[in-house]
């Protein structure tokens, strides 16, 4: 009997705390979780509608919205009605479009996502294949002031690691003209400007090939089964489904054979720094320039670390250490055909 009474008292106490202490009780915690979930889902919906409009000008359908958010169609209808009542979307022929207010909110989420991706790759050294999912988790919980601080920390980058433009703090986003690699003519140089990061499995294969924004490639051969392309040093054989997720534009007029990258320099070899490729942006780019990696500088590969990464290089009389993922962004050309000089 005593045990039963004790159990009843415990249950009563729990119910009292849940109901009477809204700021610390379970009901309040659940409400905050549900509010955050609903806000995140609404922001994801705005971002999805913006992506549809940005890429092809087509309105987003309810079916597409439900699929993108992973919710039943009935829940997508409720969400769409809520966004419409708040003046963030409007009904259009065949679906929904953003209002000016909805577009600004969507651009704010996109800005957060792409700045976080830039941070995760440049500063946190996260694999490019993994940053999208992590940025998805972080994009909803940072305000405009924190984003401005993050942008300053990163050195005001203009594109994310996939080549997408980063919206400004005032809600402007540059459009980068491009088309799928599958539509590019054979033999013409192309500049890789964007790697589509969804679906993740396809992007992981592209990243594993070593392709990146800023790279200049040529389609050597195109068949229904595969596209063969080259950057002048390496040949890539891609299935059309992969090539369709690589977007390219016109290469610079002077583009010829792709320059070597610093990672190709063997111990004791010397080269001249040509440039830092456009895949490297912001604070990391400025850091390498401050280390003396400017056009025309002589650089010599000295010693790898015990694990092979980073590698010590001598530039402008100073020994510096660069990780492989940093050295990959340094384009080099052959120096004079003379032995490397200590302290060159």
**Residue 113 belongs to a domain:** no
Q: At 21, give phi and psi (nearest 5°).
A: -110, 75
Q: How many domains does the chain have?
A: 3
Which of 49, 64, 98 delimits the end of a domain? 98
- The reply to whether 31 and 84 lie within a common domain is yes
**Residue 125 belongs to a domain:** no
- The reply to whether 198 and 245 lie within a common domain is yes
pTM: 0.75
| Mean pLDDT of the 129-138 span | 90
- The reply to whether 44 and 83 lie within a common domain is yes
Q: Are 282 and 122 in contact (CB under 8 A)?
A: yes
Question: With pLDDT > 70 as the criterion, what percentage of the chain qualifies?
Answer: 87
Tens-place pLDDT, residues 82-124: 999 999 999 988 889 999 999 999 999 999 999 999 999 888 8
Which pLDDT does position 7 carry in this prediction?
62
Question: With pLDDT > 90 as the criterion, what percentage of the chain qualifies?
Answer: 50
The CATH number assigned to the domain holding 75 equals 1.10.10.10
Interatomic CA distance for residues 299 and 292, integer angstroms: 9
Look up residue 251 and give its two tokens: 């290469």
Tens-place pLDDT, residues 60-87: 999 999 999 999 999 999 999 999 999 9
Look up residue 166 and give its two tokens: 């980063």
**Residue 214 belongs to a domain:** yes
Average pLDDT, the chain: 85
**Residue 286 belongs to a domain:** yes
Cis check: omega of the bond before 199, within 30 degrees of 0: yes
**DSSP letter, residue 321:** E
Beta strands in the chain, from DSSP E residues, in sequence order: 89-92, 95-98, 179-180, 189-195, 216-222, 227-230, 235-238, 246-250, 260-261, 270-276, 298-304, 311-315, 318-322, 330-334
Query: By residue range, what is the domain housing residue 268?
Result: 260-334
Strand partners, 180: 247
Which of 205, 224, 250 delimits the end of a domain? 250
| Mean pLDDT of the 199-203 span | 87
Interatomic CA distance for residues 121 and 281, integer angstroms: 11
Which pLDDT does position 342 carry in this prediction?
35
Which pLDDT does position 69 carry in this prediction?
92
Tens-place pLDDT, residues 139-151: 998 888 999 999 9
CA-based nearest residue to 76, from 112, 45, 107: 45
**For residue 251, is pLDDT > 70?**
yes
Higher pLDDT, 233 or 273: 273
Which of 60, 76, 98 delimits the end of a domain? 98
Q: Are 52 and 31 in contact (CB under 8 A)?
A: no
pLDDT band (50, 70, 90) for residue 169: very high
């Amino acid at each position: 009997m005593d045990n039963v009474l004790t159990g009843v008292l415990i249950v009563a106490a729990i119910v009292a705390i849940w109901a009477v202490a809204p700021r610390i009780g379970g009901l309040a915690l659940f409400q905050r979780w549900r509010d955050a979930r609903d806000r995140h889902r609404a922001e994801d919906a705005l971002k999805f509608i913006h992506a549809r409009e940005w890429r092809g000008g087509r309105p987003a359908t309810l079916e597409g919205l439900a699929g993108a958010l992973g919710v039943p169609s009935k829940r997508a209808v409720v969400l769409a009605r809520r966004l419409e009542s708040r003046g963030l979307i409007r009904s259009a022929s065949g679906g929904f479009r953003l209002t000016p207010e909805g577009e600004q909110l969507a651009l704010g989420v996109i800005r957060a996502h792409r700045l976080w991706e830039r941070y995760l790759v440049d500063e946190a050294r996260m694999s490019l294949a993994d940053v999208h999912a992590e940025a998805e988790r972080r994009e909803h919980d940072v305000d405009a002031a924190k984003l401005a601080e993050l942008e300053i920390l990163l050195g005001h980058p203009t594109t994310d690691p996939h080549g997408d433009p980063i919206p400004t703090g005032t809600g402007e986003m540059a459009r980068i003209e491009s088309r799928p690699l599958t539509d590019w003519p054979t033999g013409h140089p192309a500049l890789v400007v964007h790697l589509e990061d969804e679906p993740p499995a396809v992007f992981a294969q592209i990243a594993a090939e070593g392709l990146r924004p800023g790279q200049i490639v040529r389609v050597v051969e195109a068949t229904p089964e595969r596209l063969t392309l080259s950057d002048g040093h390496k040949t890539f054989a891609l299935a059309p489904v992969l090539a369709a997720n690589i977007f390219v534009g016109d290469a610079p007029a002077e583009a010829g054979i792709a320059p070597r990258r610093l990672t190709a320099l063997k111990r004791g070899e010397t080269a001249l720094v040509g440039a830092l490729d456009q895949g490297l942006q912001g604070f990391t780019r400025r850091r390498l320039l401050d280390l003396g990696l400017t056009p025309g500088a002589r650089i010599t590969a000295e010693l790898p670390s015990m694990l092979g990464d980073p590698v010590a290089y001598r530039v402008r009389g100073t020994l510096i250490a660069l990780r492989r993922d940093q050295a990959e962004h340094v384009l080099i050309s052959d120096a004079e055909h003379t032995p490397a000089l200590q302290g060159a």
